[in-house]
Structure formats: structure tokens, C-alpha cells
A = this chain, B = another copy of it.
């Protein structure tokens, strides 16, 4: 069956579901989004890209950005990362301080907030202008120079970011942040404010489906081994404390954000991005998971 046909079926089935979730509203910029938005973009290795609904509209990617900053950090400093952040699922909500305290300021993995803050610190030690470096990298792998930060979102996150400030100060107290806490948080909130469409996201995640290479040019961006490892971390840690459930229902490595986006990858086959702003209780897009579960059921195969 063609991917487009499958997507159309998914749309028919999913849009009649009652979305039980709620739009994230801890900052007004997220709360004001139209809750009925729904978009899908699927990019196959051996086929054209196919789309559904609001696939070309930009939204706040939030935690999905953690994958980009990790990739960039691995690209420039791979060996130095893994003594400062782990690769184990946290078993706790995405912002818990308990484990971080118990484990002496070494975050469980790079996809919980504390881990992403340490990765931000690593990038800040390496780059003169880490905001610019990250933006250039994201533009390159998604082939879209119009991608940008949303300064209002970044500013608003910062004004409400006491819990992240708590995390960053705790890590600093253990010596696992080397730069100024306020500067790190500023970079971190910028990174989360990136705005991209489903098409942008799916295209950029093709490097994880394509052994680290850009699909268009076969340019090697990261080693195949690195792509494999990022997929492994997305599989076990990509969905906060719902990672097991996502693995169980969907069976693909992926990453979600509180803006309602989810990107997933079937290595060797395709990457796919979904957007629907209402979140379930664990902070992941309610309809997004429904759509992706149908995708692996209808295509008849997942990584398992």
C-alpha cells in the first residue's frame, strides 16, 4: 500500500477520535495555539515525501530540539559527553529532581530537561556562539534556511522557568555545569523555542533513518554508529516516563515535544513527523501517538 493511502486512512480514523488531551498552557504562546491543528509528513528513503493536513505549518518544537543539540554535541565532542550524562530511562517525570540529587548531578539521559541542560553546557564550552551554531546545523539538516528561534517564546519560557533554574543550579552545585547558569538557561530556552513544520522535522530526522547521511547528497553528518546510538536513546528515553508505552504501542524510536509534535524514525525506511497540540497526561501528543500506532500497524512492520 502507498504511504499516501495509509496516511489518508489514518486521518480518517484519528480525526473522529475524541482527543482527551489538553494543550500545554504554562506559557501563553503555547496555550494560544489552535487545538484542532493536525499535520503529518512522512519522508521515505526510496519514495517521495507525503503529507496530511497542516504538515507545512510551523509550530514550537520544544523538547524535540534536545535531539538536535545532542547530535551536534556528539558530532563535535562524542567521547566527552557520556561521563556527564547517562543513557538510561529515568523512570520519573521529565523534570524530577530526586534522581538527579541521588545520582550526584549526572542526569539519567540527554532527553530529560536536566540532561539537555548539561548538553547545552557542553555546546556552550565548545562554540563561541552556540545559538548560531545550533541554528545553522538545524537549517542544514532540514534544508530550510527560514527556520528560526521564536524570541517571544524563549523569553516567556525563561520568565516561567523556575524549575529548570532549580535543575541547572543543582547540577552546578555538583560541578557538572561549567558555564554561567543564567547563560546556559538562556541558550536552553532559545533552543526549545525553535519553530519548524512537520516537513522540516521529518526531513531533518532522515539522518537517523539513513545511517547519518543527508538523503539528498549522501554527505556524512554523523557516523552510522552515532545514528544507531541516538536511535537507541530515542527508543528508551524519547517520551519521558511514557517511553515504554510508546515502544510497546508504536515500536519506533522517536521524540516528542510539549508543542504537540512527535518525530519518529524507522531506520532504513522512513522518518515521520506528526503534530497535534493536545497532550496526554504524560505530556505527549494524544492524537500523535494514535496516528503513529496506526502507521506501524497498517504498514505491518516496526523495528520489532
Contact = CB atoms under 8 A, between A and B. Distances in A.
Contacts of A172: 162
A228 B244 CA distance: 13
A15 to B, nearest CB: 24
Contact of A232 (B90, B233, B247): B247
Interface stretch (A124-132, A139-147, A148-156, A163-171): A163-171
Contacts of A163: 169-170, 173
Copies of this chain, complex-wide, total 4
A12 interface: no
A6 interface: no
Interface in A198-253: 225, 227-229, 231-233, 235-237, 241-245, 247-248, 251, 253
Contacts of A231: 251, 304
A89 B169 contact: no
A21 interface: no
* Interface of chain A: mostly helix, strand, loop or mixed: helix
Interface stretch (A60-68, A97-105, A272-280): A97-105
A92 interface: yes
Given A98-B98, A163-B169, A166-B170, A89 B87 contact: no
A31 interface: no
Contacts of A229: 248, 304
A90, A242, A247: residue with the most chain B Cβ atoms closer than 10 Å = A247
A163 B241 CA distance: 26
A4 interface: no
19 contacts: A86-B244, A87-B247, A88-B89, A91-B99, A97-B166, A97-B170, A162-B169, A165-B169, A166-B170, A225-B297, A227-B304, A228-B302, A228-B304, A229-B248, A231-B251, A232-B248, A232-B304, A235-B304, A303-B304
Interface of A: 86-92, 96-99, 101-102, 108-109, 162-163, 165-170, 172-173, 181, 225, 227-229, 231-233, 235-237, 241-245, 247-248, 251, 253, 267, 297, 302-304
> Which 5 pairs from chain A and chain B are nearest by CB?
A91-B91, A231-B304, A162-B173, A166-B169, A88-B244
